[in-house]
Chain A
Amino acid sequence: GAGVSQSPSNKVTEKGKDVELRCDPISGHTALYWYRQSLGQGLEFLIYFQGNSAPDKSGLPSDRFSAERTGGSVSTLTIQRTQQEDSAVYLCASSYLPGQSYSSNQPQHFGDGTRLSIL
């Protein structure tokens, strides 16, 4: 079946430009996560969406970063006025978390990521 799809796979842009990264989660997955993976670093949590609940934005590094999830499915991560330190791989993951119970043994399914390079 279809996995998590991210686009574009690579993005090169000039400093100061805005970028939009897209994530299509697995159909039926209620939870969606964005992470940032910098060279040689682990995964840095950015934001979490679950159903119609307010998203957990606690990981967004600055107000230049924002994300939305329309219709409980596709998500877009937007970075405004990009800086060179924003260069990284941005990973999206989805998971099935039914109802109000946080079923803790459901794994995340990751997309292949978007490699963002800021010149």
Chain B
Amino acid sequence: GDSVTQMEGPVTLSEEAFLTINCTYTATGYPSLFWYVQYPGEGLQLLLKATKADDKGSNKGFEATYRKETTSFHLEKGSVQVSDSAVYFCALRGTYKYIFGTGTRLKVLA
């Protein structure tokens, strides 16, 4: 069945460091791919999405490119801030079900 695998955390970085959170997926067909972010004490918020191969989703300085050849959707940001500290979830959507990764906790130190 469909699945999402993302790197385990926690990831601890200094402010202004470069961020990569790896995400790979297994799916039949051509799913849409998403990154969601969960700030402390809050629900999940959509961060960015990509709906077809080679699409690049971007928002708030974060980017992720839908790579069909490597079945990946890695999240990147060139310069993280303390306010980016949160849990990040990679997800795919096939027909109607969403499959989420286990989440990667990011902690950014000032």
Give the interface of A toward B (CB within 8 A).
4, 6, 31, 33, 35, 41-43, 45, 48, 50, 56, 91, 93, 97, 102, 104-105, 107-113
A104 & B31 in contact (Cβ 8 Å cutoff): yes
A50 with B96: CB separation less than 8 A: yes
Interface residues of B in 48-102 (CB under 8 A from A): 49, 51, 89, 93-102
Residue of A nearest to B93 (CB): A104
* B43:A113 contact, CB within 8 angstroms: yes
Decide yes or no whether B34 CB sits under 8 A from chain A.
yes
A-B contacts, 17 listed (Cβ < 8 Å): A6-B43, A31-B96, A42-B100, A43-B44, A45-B98, A50-B96, A56-B97, A93-B98, A97-B96, A104-B93, A104-B94, A105-B51, A108-B98, A109-B46, A110-B45, A111-B43, A112-B43
- CB-based A-B contact count at 8 angstroms: 56
Q: How far is the CB of A34 from chain B (nearest CB, A)?
A: 12
- Residue ID in chain A nearest B46 by CB atoms: A107
Task: Say whether B46 contacts A42, CB under 8 Å.
Answer: no
> Which 9 pairs from chain A and chain B are nearest by CB?
A42-B102, A110-B43, A105-B51, A43-B100, A110-B44, A112-B43, A107-B46, A104-B32, A105-B32
Contact for B89 among A43, A45, A50, CB less than 8 A: A43
In the bound complex, do residue B95 and residue A102 qualify as a contact, i.e. CB atoms below 8 Å apart? yes
Of chain B, the residue at the smallest CB distance from A45 is B97
Chain A neighbourhood of B97, CB < 8 A: 45, 48, 56
Contact B101 A105 (CB under 8 A): no
